[in-house]
Amino acid sequence: MSRSTALHLAAEYFDSGLFQNDLQRRIALPTESQNAARAPELVQYLQDEIAPALAALGFESRQVDNPIAGAPPLLLARRMESADAVTVLMYGHGDVVNGQEGRWQQDRSPWQLEPHGDRWYGRGAADNKGQHSINLGALAAAIAAADGKLGCNVKMIFEMGEEVGSPGLYEACREYADYLEADLFLASDGPRLAASSPTLFLGSRGALQFKLSLDIGNGAHHAGNWGGVLRNPATVLANAAASLVDARGVILVPGLRPRQVSQRVRALVRDFAVGSDAGDPKLDANWGEPGLSAGERLFAWNTLELIAFEAGNAQRPVGAIPARAQAVFQLRFVVGTVWEDVQTSLRKHLDEQGYHDVQIEIQAAAPATRLDPDDPWVALATSSMQETVGKPVTILPNLGGTIPNHCFSEALDLPTLWMPHSYPSCSQHAPDEHLLASVAREGLQLMAGLLWDIGQQGRQVADARRAGQAAHHPAPLPA
C-alpha cells in the first residue's frame, strides 16, 4: 500500500456516501451544550458515536468525569503501535450551539443534514461534527492504506463543552497528562482563510470578555420631570465605552494593546486576501488600527469589540431615565499582550476619565497561543499538504478567533497544528450553518496524507526538533 492509496480511500469514503451518512447520524443528535436539558445527548454522542468509531480503528477508550462538577464528561482514547513511534494527540468537540429552530431558511431543521449544491446544512456541520468526522475518516483511510500499521501512535480527547468555554478541559489535560503524552497535537476547528485555500494555523488569539455597569442608585424616573438634574447611567456608560475604543475601532487604552508584535508574524499575514469568498461581508478599509493591512489587523493585532449594550428596553421604550446600564466587550488579543493586567488597566483608565463609579467585571478569559512558524512540524505539514493538493498552503500564525489551544500548548506542552475544514462564511453559531462538500472532500485527503507522512517521517522530525531545542538550551558544564 502507499500514500496515494490513502488519498484514494479518503476520497472514496466521501464519494460513496458513507461520510454523508456518518455526518447525518451525528448531526441528528441535538448536542446543545448551552441547553441543560441536553445533558443526556452529550453523553450519548460520546458513547454511541465516538467510542464505537474509535473502537473500529483499534482504539481503546475511556469516558472520564469532568474535573469541573456538573460539566459534561470527556472521552480519552489511544491507539498504540510502538513505544518507539511518535505519538499524535487529536481532538474534537461534539457539542454545538443552540439549534435556533424556526430561523433557518427554507424551513430547514438544524438536526437534519440537508445538501444543497456544495453546501451541506445542519447544526454542527462546520463546528465541529463535520470537521472531526473528516479527521476520523482520514485516519481510517491512512490506517487501511498502511495495512493497519500507520507508523505512529494516535491518541484522542473529545469534549462536550467547547461552546460553553470548555469547562474542565485544561484541568483534564493536566490530570491525565501521562495518558495524553504525545509529540504533536493535530486537530481541526475554525475556518480556512478562504474556501479555496488549504490552511494551517498554529494557535489562536486570546479572548477576554468583560462587562462595564453603572447603577446610580436612583432607580428609573420620568425623563420630563427629572431630565437635566439626574445623571443618566446610559449616557454616562455610552461615553465611558467610547473612551475605550474610538469610532474607527482603534483601541484607546494602552494596556489593551499588544506590547510587542512579531515582525515575522506580520510579514506572514500582511498580504492575505481577507474576505475574498463570495458571500463574505464587505470589509471597511477605514476600520481598525491605522497602518496595518486587513491580514495584520485580523491575525497580528488586538481588537476590542462592543458586543452588547443594555439600558431600558429598545423594543418597548418608555419616557424614563433608565435605572442602570451595562455594556459587554470582547478583547481578542495576540501573543505579546499582558492580558492578566487588563482589569487594572481598565480601572486606571476609567478613573482618569472620571468614571469612578463604573464597575468592571471580567467574565471569561483564555490566553493567546502560537507555535513558531519555523517549527519543523510546520514544515512537514506544509510540504505534505502541498503534495496532496498541488497548490499553495496558507500558514496562519494564529486563528483570528479563539479556541482552547492553551489546553494543549500549555497544559501538555505540545506543538500545535490545526488544519481547518471550514471557511469564514459557514454561518457557524447562526442559522444556516453549513459545510462545503468540496472542502470536506479535499480535507479528507489532506488529513489522510498528513497522517501518512507523520507515520513515515514523524520520528525524524521529532528527533530533529529535540536536537534543535537542545542546541538552544545546552546542558550546563559539570562542576
Task: Give the mean model confidence (pLDDT) for residues 379-399.
Answer: 97
- pLDDT value at 391 more than 60: yes
User: Which grid cell sits at 394?
Assistant: 496558507
Q: Please say whether the dihedral angle defined by the alpha carbons of residues 112, 100, 398 and 46, taken in this order, is positive or negative.
A: negative
pLDDT at 474 over 60: no
Distances (CA, A) of 10 to 4, 120, 143, 450: 10, 19, 11, 12
Long-range contacts of 383-392 (CB under 8 A, 24+ apart): 383/453, 384/449, 384/450, 384/453, 385/198, 385/200, 385/419, 385/446, 385/449, 385/450, 387/449, 388/7, 388/445, 388/446, 388/449, 388/450, 389/198, 389/442, 389/445, 389/446, 391/198, 392/197
Cell numbers placing 121: 446544512
Helices (H), 45-128: 51-55
Q: What pTM was estimated for this model as a whole?
A: 0.91
- 90 pLDDT exceeds 90? yes
Question: What is the signed CA dihedral for 143, 148, 153, 157, rounded to 10 degrees?
Answer: 60
**Residue among 471, 428, 308, 414 nearest 91 (CA):** 414
- At a CB cut-off of 8 Å and minimum separation 6, what does 40 contact? none
pLDDT digits (tens, 9 = 90+) for 253-283: 999 999 988 899 999 999 998 988 888 899 9
**Long-range CB pairs of 61-68, under 8 A, 24+ apart, other chains included:** 61/156, 64/172, 64/176, 66/161, 66/167, 66/168, 66/172, 67/168, 67/171, 67/172, 67/175, 68/167, 68/168, 68/171
The beta-carbon contacts of 300-303 under 8 Å, at least 24 apart in sequence, are: 300/261, 300/262, 300/265, 300/266, 300/269, 300/334, 300/397, 301/258, 301/261, 301/334, 302/205, 302/251, 302/256, 302/257, 302/258, 302/331, 302/332, 302/333, 302/334, 302/337, 303/249, 303/251, 303/331, 303/332
Calpha distance 444→50 (Å, rounded): 18
Q: What is the DSSP letter of 113?
A: -
| Best CA proximity match to 216, nearest among 314, 321, 347, 312 | 321
Predicted confidence (pLDDT) per residue in 421-460, tens digit: 999 999 999 999 999 999 999 999 999 999 999 999 999 9
d(CA 90, CA 155): 6
Q: Give the tens place of pLDDT for each residue, 5-55.
A: 999 999 999 999 999 999 999 999 999 999 999 999 999 999 999 999 999
Report the phi/psi class of residue 478: left, alpha or beta, with left for phi > 0 and alpha for psi in -120 to 50: beta
Terminus-to-terminus CA distance in the chain, angstroms? 54
Using left for φ > 0, alpha for ψ between -120 and 50, and beta otherwise, residue 93 falls in: beta
Sign of the CA dihedral 433, 451, 44, 71?
negative
Give the type of residue at 428: Q
Range 367-386 average pLDDT: 97
Domains and CATH numbers, the chain: 3-204+368-467 (3.40.630.10), 206-261+301-366 (3.30.70.360)
E strand map for 339-448: 359-366, 369-370, 394-396, 416-418, 434-436
Residue 477's pLDDT band (cuts 50, 70, 90): very low
Q: What is the pLDDT of residues 174-231, one digit of tens each?
A: 999 999 999 999 999 999 999 999 999 999 999 999 999 999 999 999 999 899 989 9
pLDDT of residue 468: 80
Angle of the 3-15 helix axis to the 18-27 helix axis, nearest 10: 60
- Find out whether 108 and 114 touch, Cβ atoms under 8 Å: yes
Question: What pLDDT score was predicted for residue 279?
Answer: 83
Which residue has 480601572 as its cell numbers?
347
Read off the pLDDT of residues 151-168 as tens digits, 9 standing for 90 and up. Answer: 999 999 999 999 999 999
| Identity of the residue numbered 474 | P
pLDDT tens column, 58-81? 999 999 999 999 999 999 999 999
Cell 559539570 found at:
478
Residue 41 half-sphere exposure, CB side, CA atoms within 13 Å?
19
The length of the chain in residues reads 479
Q: What stretch of H or E contains 326?
A: strand 324-333
Quick check: 479 pLDDT over 50? no
